[in-house]
Chain A
């Protein structure tokens, strides 16, 4: 069990470019979450998957954002036509449903800087 991993760890892009982030959850976890954390704020929920199904999306997830989890394993988060306001840390977390005593395990995040 290697924990939740995210790649890349840092991404610098120019405004208007598209970017894609990847999250690999803990192997037996069926739920995968994406959060966004801006400077001085706590993480804000974006979306989550149960297996390959995207079950909930926050209003923060504009139409420029799309997330997939095609085989119920890793997930990608794509931002099209990036804006400076998209600069943030993007966190992924995973969990296993069925026991409320389980918790979400977070990855190290991908820090996006839009110039």
Chain B
């Protein structure tokens, strides 16, 4: 069975600094999809970034980028120039069929605090 592990329950970063959130996963599949979702307090979960396992190039979305290490089954999220609005729970997720077509398997999340 596929599993997703986030080993950092909480992280803190100074505004304008860079922070990296860790995620590891376990799967025997070769094709799959990985995601980072953001869940602000009392607000709905939104997609931050996604990565297809068959792509070697790391995904980037503005200030958000990932370090995808397929052999190590590692998928970390880097947030550059952190802003107060980045404070939230961040969930790493795995899907076998792509975000639109398969159920997501989530990690336990990392609570990110941003200090002004």
Contact = CB atoms under 8 A, between A and B. Distances in A.
Interface residues of A, number: 29
B26 to A, nearest CB: 15
A100 B101 contact: yes
B106 A100 contact: no
A31 B104 contact: no
A103 B47 CA distance: 8
A43 B101 contact: no
Interface stretch (A15-23, A61-69, A78-86, A89-97): A89-97
Contacts of B50: 103
Nearest to A44: B106
A41 B108 contact: yes
Interface of B: 4, 33, 35, 37, 43-47, 50, 52, 91, 93, 97-101, 103-109
